Structures are given as structure tokens and as C-alpha cells.
Amino acid sequence: MIPLIAQAFTVGGLVHLLIVLIIVGIVLWLIWWAISQIPMPPPVQVAVRVIFVLIMVLVLLSFLLPLLGVKM
């Protein structure tokens, strides 16, 4: 009997996930670069970066948690 976690890790599924994460990473990197090109005062710049990092973490979790069987 194969454990539940091992069933979620197929080669095709992991390759698809890798491709999707690379594309999402490139898009988020471009957005990060665009945000850094806009001159902002320090408090606003820190707030924008913190919000952006939180969004990146949520996107990453939305892709990785289903591999563990967690429903979102």
C-alpha cells in the first residue's frame, strides 16, 4: 500500500508544478523589479515590499499545499 503523500508526487505532476512555479516566479520577479523602479518614501516602500512578500508566500502555499492533501 502506497502512503497518501507518496501518491501525490508523480513525475508528471511535479514537472508541471515546476514549470508553473518557474512561470509564476518570472512574473513575480518582473513585478518586483517594476515596484523597485518606482521612487517611494521609505515607509511606503517598506509597506509595499512586505505586502508583496506576503502575496508571494500565499501564491507559493496555494501551489504546494495541495501536494500534501490540504484543501484550500
Q: What is the pLDDT of residues 9-61, one digit of tens each?
A: 677 777 887 888 889 889 989 988 998 898 989 899 889 989 999 988 888 88
* pLDDT at position 10: 74
Whole-model pTM over 0.75: no
Q: How would you classify residue 71: left for phi > 0, otherwise alpha for psi between -120 and 50, otherwise beta?
A: beta
Q: In this predicted model, which residue has the larger pLDDT, 45 or 2?
A: 45
* pLDDT at position 2: 46
Dig out the grid coordinates for 58 from the structure: 500565499
Orientation of helix 11-37 relative to helix 42-64, angle to 10°: 170
For residue 7, name the pLDDT band (cuts at 50, 70, 90): low
Dihedral (CA of 31, 36, 37, 43) sign? positive
